[in-house]
Amino acid sequence: MEPILTAKVMHKKDTQSLYRYRFFGLNVQSGIPLLLPTADPVQSSADVVIQYGEIPKDGIAESQEIGGFCQARPGTLWLHVPDVAWFLVSDGRQIDVMPEPECDQQTLLVYLLDSVMSALLHQRGLLVLRGSAIRVGQRAIVICGASGVGKSTVGAVLIEQGFQLLSDNLCVIDQDGQIQPGYPEIKLWQDTIEALNISRTRLTPVRKQIKKYARPLQTEEFHDKPLPLVAVYILSTDNLHAGQLHPLKGMKAYLPVKNQTYQSRYLIGLGMAAHHLQLCGRLLKGIPVAQLYRSLARMQTDSPTALVNAILADLAAKGLHADIKSIQTRNV
Amino acid sequence: MNGIYWLASYPKSGNTWTRSFIYAILNPDKELDINELATGAIASSRQWIESGLGFEINQLDHDEVDRLRPPAYRWLSRQVEGYGYHKIHDAYTYLPDGTPLFPKEAALGALYIIRNPLDVALSYANHNGQSVDQTIRQMRDPDHAFCGSDKRFVNQIRQRMLSWSEHVNSWLPSGLNLFTVRYEDMTGSTEATFKKIAEFLQLPSDEHSVATALEKCSFDRLKAQEKEKGFREKPIAAAGFFDNDILGDWKTALTKRQVTTILHDHREVMQAFGYADVNGNPIET
C-alpha cells in the first residue's frame, strides 16, 4: 500500500511523475497519485489533466458564491477546503490543486475524487447522481440516496450475491444514457463491515481520522464497461414506511431523481442548470423509478438483505428475472 | 435586518411545540402538519452546514466538522431573507482556540427554553426507550452527545449536550441576544408567554394571531396528528413523542431516590429557575 504522503512530500516527490487512469469514460492524466488502478499508457490524448498549480487563495472574479468556500462561474469552479487544499476546475478538462502545508494525501483525494471531480463532470455536461450503479444482465440499475443512507451497504450485499458494481458513490450517466464505470472500489463504515462480517484483509482506511474503509473491487466484482440505465431506486429513511417500495410516476418520479444529483449546488454557478434539467428529462424518460424506505434505526444484519430482496423482486416483476437468476446461480 | 434566531433547548423541553407555534403564526392560511414543520433546518443538519460551506463533510471527524461550523453559520446567516428559526440542541460550546461554534455575529438572537429537569428526565427516558436511571446519568454526564458515533455515518453532526445544568449555563452567558422562557410558563400562562416569545422573535404578536396559532398547535391537536399518521421525528424506541398525558408528571412517576438524585445533580440551576427552593426541595410548578 502506498504510504500516506504530506503535501510537502507530494510536491517534492511527484512533480515530474504522470499517472494515467480511466474512469467515467475519461482518459485522465494526473500529476498526483490517485491511489486507483492505473490505465495502460495512453493511446489517445488525455480528456482530463490533474496537476499541482498556483490558485488564488481568496477566490475568482465575476463568480457566484456557493457556500463560504466555493465560487463558480460558467466554465470555472474554485473551492477551498480549509486545512486541505485549494482546487480550480476548468472547462471540464483541467483540475489544478494547491495543497495546504499539512494536508495528507488521503484527505486530499477524498475531496479531489468526489466533490471536485463532480464539478468537472458537471462541466462536461454529464448527469452525476449520488448513487451506486449495479449491473443486471446487459443493463444497470442505480440505487440513489443521501449520504449515509445505506447505498454502499446494499451494494456490498449485492456483490456478495454475485452482482457487479459500476460505481459506488458517484454515478455518471452520459448523454447517450449509458452509465459509465467509476472507481473500482466500495467504501464502507465500520458498522457495516461488522454487521456484514466483511473480511478486513483487503480494507484500507479512507482516512486515518475516520472509521471508514475502502475495499478494492476484484475483476469479477466490477463491470468496467458502460451499460444502459434500466431502473432507479431511491433509498431513504422513513419510520412510517420502512421496508416498503413505492413506484413513482411522472413528475413524482422525475423530481426525486433530479434531486439526487451530486453537488447540484454547483450547477447554477457553473451555468449548467438549464442543461441539467433538460438532461434529466431526456435521460430519465421512460425509466422506472421507485422509492425504497428503510427505518431510521441502524441497519441490522438482515435489513440490507431485505432491501436487496425488495429491489430484486421489483426487477423480476419488470421481466429481469432471468438476468438475476443467472447471476445468483453463478455465485452459488 | 435579516438573520437567524436559534431555538435552543435541552431535548424534551418544548422545542417542537415552539416550532409548531412559529409555523402556525407565519402560515395562518395553512393547516399545521407536524411532519412538515419547515421553520428552518436544525443547527446540526449536515446538509444545511454543507450548503454554508460549498463542500461535503461526510468524511471528516467530529472535531474537524466543529471547526467548520462557525464559518458555515456566518455565511448562512448572511444569506437569510427575513428571519430563519433554527432548532438547536447543542450546548453553547467553543473550539480549542476559544471561537464559539455559534458565533454572535451569525445570529440575531436565541430563544432558550428551559424545563424542569424532573420532567425532562421522564420525557427523555420515554423518547430514548430507556430507563429513567440511565437518563438521569446521561443528564449528569458532561460528555453526553447526540450523533457521536465514529463507526457509522449519522445524518446529523455531533451535538455536545454537556450535562443538563452545563447546557443551561452555557447558553446564558453566551453574549447572544437571549430570551429565556420556562416550559412551565408556556403551559401555565400560555397566551402571555407565547406573546412574549413572538415579540422576541419578531413574529406577529397581536392577540388574535397568537391565539389562532396556539389553537392550531394545541397539545391535543399535535397528539391526535401523531396518532393518526405518525410523527417523523419520533424515534422508533419511543412510545409516543407528544407524551405529556401518558407519562403523568414527575411527582407520580419518579421515585424519591430519583428526585433526590436529580436535585443533587442540578440544584443550583433548579433554584435559579424556580424548580427548587432554598433548601433544595423541589417546587411543584
Backbone Cα Rg of chain A: 20
Q: Using an 8 Å CB-CB cutoff, list chain B residues near A196.
A: none
Contact call for residues A159 and A217 (beta carbons, < 8 A): yes
Three cell numbers at A267?
450547477
Average of pLDDT values for B247-272? 91
Q: What is the pLDDT of residues B73-127, one digit of tens each?
A: 999 999 999 999 999 999 999 999 999 999 999 999 999 999 999 999 999 998 8
What ipTM describes this predicted complex?
Answer: 0.90
Question: What pLDDT, on a 0 to 100 scale, did the predictor assign at position A1?
Answer: 42
Any chain A CB within 8 A of the CB of B99? no
Q: What is the pLDDT of residues A243-296, one digit of tens each?
A: 889 999 887 888 888 899 999 999 999 999 999 999 999 998 889 999 999 887
Average of pLDDT values for A76-86? 97
Q: Which of A115, A148, A192 is opposite residue B155, by nearest beta carbon? A: A148
Q: How many CB pairs (< 8 A) connect A and B? A: 91
Minimal C-alpha gap between B174 and chain A (Å): 24
Q: Using an 8 Å CB-CB cutoff, list chain B residues near A148.
A: 58, 152-155
Between B62-79 and B46-53, two packed helices, what is the crossing angle to 10 degrees? 70
Q: What is the distance of C-alpha B11 from the center of its chain?
A: 5
| CA nearest to B74 within chain A | A68
Question: What pLDDT, on a 0 to 100 scale, did the predictor assign at position A253?
Answer: 86
Average of pLDDT values for B210-218? 92
Q: Using an 8 Å CB-CB cutoff, list chain A residues near B59.
A: 110, 206-207, 210, 212
Contact call for residues B3 and B108 (beta carbons, < 8 A): yes
Backbone Cα Rg of chain B: 18
**pLDDT over 90 for what percent of chain B?**
75
Minimal C-alpha gap between B90 and chain A (Å): 21
Any chain B CB within 8 A of the CB of A267? no
Q: What is the DSSP string of B133-185?
A: HHHHHHHH-TT-EES--SSS--SB--EE---HHHHHHHHTTS-S-EEEEEHHH
pLDDT at B189 over 80: yes
Least confident stretch, A26-40, B138-152, B166-180: B138-152
Q: What is the pLDDT of residues A93-145, one digit of tens each?
A: 999 999 999 899 999 999 999 999 999 999 999 999 999 999 999 999 999 99
| CA proximity to B52, closest of B82, B84, B79, B83 | B79
**Distance from C-alpha of B244 to C-alpha of B219, rounded to nearest angstrom:** 9
Any chain B CB within 8 A of the CB of A204? no
Minimal C-alpha gap between A99 and chain B (Å): 16
Question: What pLDDT, on a 0 to 100 scale, did the predictor assign at position A216?
Answer: 94
Q: What is the pLDDT of residues B16-36, one digit of tens each?
A: 999 999 999 999 888 887 777
| CA proximity to B140, closest of B275, B261, B15 | B261
Three cell numbers at B124?
427523555
* Reported confidence tier of residue A14, pLDDT bands at 50, 70, 90: low
